Structure 1
Amino acid sequence: MMFFNFAILLAGAGFAAAQSISELSSQCQSALINTAASSEAACLNPSGLISLALTSSNTSSIIPGVNTWLSGLCSQSACSNSTLQDVITNITSGCSTDLSSLGLSTSNVTDLISSVEAYYPTARQIICLKDTSTSTLCVPEILTNIQSATTTLSLDNIISLAAKLMSGQSTGIPSSAICTDCTQAAFTVLSQGLPQVASTVQSAVSSECGTNSTDGQMPSDVEKSATNSSTTTTSGAIAVSFGSLHMRAVIVVAVSAVFAILA
C-alpha cells in the first residue's frame, strides 16, 4: 500500500504538475542541471530519474523506468546529511518561484532539511526492499501486480490514479495486488525506523491487508537491498540538456523524489 502511494504520487503528481507549467525559469533550469550533473547527487541516481522523466506519457509503462532508477539508487551509497542539505538548498533556492507555482513552500528550508534528514534513511530502506524469491525490487513488483490487475501504467494512467488517490476516490485496484510480503516488510521497516509514522497508518494497512501485515515481523522472502554506506562524492557526473517540456518533467520528478515520502 505504501509502495503504491509512493510510486503513484511520485510519477503522477510530478508529471501532472510538469504538464501544467508553461516554462521553468532559467534560474531553476540552471539549478537543476547543476544538481543533476554534480557527482555529489549520484546517491539519488539522477540519470535514472531523467530516464523516467522521458518515458512516453501515452503508451509506455513506467515500470521499467522506475526499476532502472531504483536499482541504481539502491546500489549507490546513501546520501549523507550534507548531500541532502546541499541538494535541497540548491533546488529550493534556485527554483523557489517554480516550486511556489506547484504549491510547495520554500519559506522554511531549515525545517524541511531536518524532516528529510529524519525520514530519508527509512524511506530509502523501504523503496529498496527486494523480493528474494523473484530477485525483484518490491516497488516495481507491486506496480507490475497493479498493472496486471488494471491497465498499462503509462504516465497518463498514473496521473489519473494519482488524482483519484489524492482526492480519496476508489482506484479500483484489488487488495491482492498490493497486499504482499513486500507490504508487510515495508510496514515493519517503517515501524522500526519511524514508529510515530507507522502508528498513523497501521489501522489503514491492517484494514486493507490484514493484521499479519502489521505484526512487526520481517518476511523471510524480503530483504533490505540498499547499500548501507554513505558518501558525499561519487565519480561520473552526467551532462544534461533538454527542451522545456522535458526539463519541466525532470525538475518535478527530482523534487518529488526528495519529498514524496513526506507527502
Structure 2
Amino acid sequence: MAFLRDIVSVLMVCMSYQAVLGYPQNANTGAGFPAPEQSNEQSPTVQSFSKLSTSCQLAASSLLGGSFGQCADLMGLVSIMESKDSIISPINDWVSQACSSAPCDQQALGSASEIIKSGCQIDLQEQSVAAVTIYSIITHYKQTRDMFCTQLKADGSFCLPSVLGNVEAQSGEKITVSEVISLIAGKLTRADRAFLSVSKEAYCTDCGQAVVSQSAIMIDAIAKDPAGIIFDYDFISNDTVHKFTDVCGPSFGDKALPATVRIAEPKSEDSPQEDFDNAALGSQE
C-alpha cells in the first residue's frame, strides 16, 4: 500500500500548492518566501500517511480500478510518484490527460465518495489528513478539477506545472518527489532552500494568481460544505492561501481568473484545438 501514501502526497501538493513554495508568512521576503518553521516533529500531513487504517487503504486503492480512477486518471498520479527525476513533466502529462478528458460524472463521484466514506469511516472521524483530503477531493471534484485545469489562453500551457517549472528553473534544482516530501515535513534540504529563495517573479504571475484563486475557491467550498466530516486543517486554510497577497499583491486574493487564463475544457472530436493539433501534425509530415 506504499503507493497510496505516494498518491496522497502528490494530491496534497496539488491541493495546497503553496506548500511547495514555502508557506508565505509576510511581504518582507527579499528573495522569495521565508522557509516554514522547522521542527523535529513531523507535520500533520506527513504523520497522517502512516495512520490510515487498513480498511481505508483498501478503499482508496480500490478507486484505481473503478470509474472514478479512470475519469480522474489516478494511474497518472502513480506515474508521477514513480519518477526519480523532476516531477514537472509527469505532473504536466497527468494534468493534460485529466483535463482533456470528460469530467467524472455524478455516478462515478457518488460511488467513489461512498467507498471512501464507508472504508475510511474511522479515519474521517479521527480527521486523518490523508483521508479527509481524498474524501474532500471527491465530494468537491468540480472545484478541485478547476484548480488543476487552469491554463494560459495564449498557448494552452497548464498553470500548475508552469509555476512549479518557473520555481525549478530559477532555483537551479529539480523538484523531485523526495524534495517535496521533505519540504512538507519541514526537514529542508539544500534543494528545498533553493526553492524557497527564488524571487517572487517565479510565482507572482497570471498562472500563479489563477492557481491561488482557484485553490481559495476550492477550500472555501470544502469548508462551507464538508460533506458530513470535520474540516479544520490550518495547512490548507484560506488564511494561508491569502498570504500570497502580501507578496504578490491584492489581485491574488480576489478569487478571480486573470484575463489571460481559462479553465481548460475537455477536448471533443470537433474541438478547434484538436483540429489545430491535427493540422500541425500534418504539416510536419
TM range (shorter): 0.5 to 0.7
The higher-RCO structure (CA 8 Å, 6+ apart) is 1
1:141 equivalenced with 2:162 (yes/no)? yes
2:88 is aligned with what amino acid?
Answer: I
| Greater shift in the superposed pair: 142-151 or 116-125 | 116-125
State how many pairs are aligned. Answer: 213
CA distance in 2, matches of 1:29, 1:52: 19
Tell me if the contact between 1:3 and 1:183 (Cα under 8 Å) persists in the aligned partners.
no
The aligned counterpart of 2:103 is 78
Q: From the CA coordinates, give the structure whose radius of gyration is larger.
A: 2
Of 242, 245, 250, the match for 1:206:
245
Residues 33/123 of structure 1: CA separation in 2 closer, same or farther (3 Å cut): closer
| Greater shift in the superposed pair: 116-125 or 133-142 | 116-125
C-alpha displacement of 1:194:
6.9
CA distance in 2, matches of 1:30, 1:204: 37
CA distance in 2, matches of 1:117, 1:29: 16
Of 180, 194, 200, the match for 1:158:
180
The aligned counterpart of 1:90 is 115
CA distance in 1, matches of 2:220, 2:62: 36
Residues 76/3 of structure 1: CA separation in 2 closer, same or farther (3 Å cut): same
The aligned counterpart of 1:240 is none
Residues 228/208 of structure 1: CA separation in 2 closer, same or farther (3 Å cut): farther
TM-score (norm 2): 0.57
For residues 65-106 of structure 1, the C-alpha deviation after alignment (integer angstroms, 9 at most, x for no partner) is 111111111122222344223223324544668889994486
Task: Calculate the aligned-residue CA RMSD, in Å.
Answer: 4.5
Residues 130/93 of structure 1: CA separation in 2 closer, same or farther (3 Å cut): same
Residues 91/191 of structure 1: CA separation in 2 closer, same or farther (3 Å cut): closer
The aligned counterpart of 1:63 is 88
Tell me if the contact between 1:70 and 1:128 (Cα under 8 Å) persists in the aligned partners.
yes
Residues 165/71 of structure 1: CA separation in 2 closer, same or farther (3 Å cut): farther
C-alpha displacement of 1:134:
3.8
Q: Which runs of 5+ in 2 are unaligned?
A: 1-12, 21-42, 224-236, 269-285
Identity of aligned residues (%): 24
Aligned-partner SS, 2:140 = helix
CA distance in 1, matches of 2:246, 2:258: 19
